[in-house]
Amino acid sequence: MTKTFSPADIQGIVPPLVTPFTEDGVLDEKSLRSTIRFMLNQGVHGLVAGGSSGEGYSLTTGELARITEIAAEEIDGTVPLVAGVIANSTRDAIAKVRAVQKLGISALQVTPSHYIYKTDEESMLRHFREIAAETDIPILIYNVIPWNYLSPALLLRAMREIPGVAGVKQSAGDLKSLADLMIGAQPGDRIFAAVDSLLYPCMVLGAHGVISILTTAVPGALIQLWDAVKRGDHIFAKDMHERLLRLWNAIYADNRVATTKFTLALQGAPTGHTLRPVAAVTAAQQAAIREALSQVIPPEQLKGA
């Protein structure tokens, strides 16, 4: 049955789904369903459709809607589903919101516009205000665009001034910005971490959950880390952080959508092809990922790829 969740229900490890494509660039629905089931079997606390890890920057509105629809069918109300909206204008963002808002999602993950130009603060607030006016689905601001990066002060202002803006996904390597958000947030705000190299300290600082490409690559290991922090087992958590950091260093590259798909494939998830022009995983990358992954996941659980 279809069930939606409140923003407060979205917590823990919430991986962005990869989007499997055929070699010709067609959505591979069968592999997508299998990958979603893999994620659910790992015990994830929620999923994101159409995020950066899912090549959401390349998806048509129709593809985003179909991916979201498939994810909602497979999840069947068991965990929250977030739809990613990555668009270069308020108009296009609203079109994507309209396409997914009736598909059983619990939140929208929305970026600022991202094609080279910096948006001034009032225009940025107007962007999110106009999107929020089009839907009753809560919005998480996806703070990831390097040249259109929102300060903690502006993000906190958006959460105070725009009804419907429920939280932030804080990306890039800026741990201080996440810390500033945490101390400035009100009890109802939701602050999610996406600082892949520093997820352990993000959890310790009190992030309500993690939505990041590393959670996509190894969801089970991130759940172990989350659970360890929650029970106060920092010896295990620090050790897992170090193993995950080595894996992140192997995955992190300009083709990290492809390296993440390769990492998932090693665990038995059918991830298909990546849209061109993203480069294929090199032999050196494959070897580094295999070595680092074997320190995170028992070798007998790896399938080979």
pLDDT > 80? residue 201: yes
Residues 52-78, mean pLDDT to the nearest whole number: 97
Tell me whether residue 142 is one of the annotated catalytic residues.
yes
Binding-site positions for pyruvate? 211
- Give the three-class secondary structure for 97: helix
Average pLDDT score, the chain: 95
Domain 7-231 has CATH 3.20.20.70: yes
Q: How many Å apart are CA 271 and CA 269, to the nearest integer? A: 6
The one catalytic residue in 102, 117, 142, 303 is 142
Share of the chain above pLDDT 70, in %: 98
pLDDT tens digits, residue range 283-298?
999 999 999 999 999 8
Inter-residue contact 196 to 248 (CB < 8 Å):
yes
Burial class (CB in 10 A: 0-12, 13-18, 19+), 95: middle
1: pLDDT confidence band, cut at 50, 70 and 90? very low
Which residue ranges make up each domain of the chain? 7-231
* Distance set, CA 156 to CA 38, 161, 169, 251 (Å): 35, 9, 12, 32
Tell me whether residue 169 is one of the annotated catalytic residues.
yes
The one catalytic residue in 57, 117, 169, 238 is 169
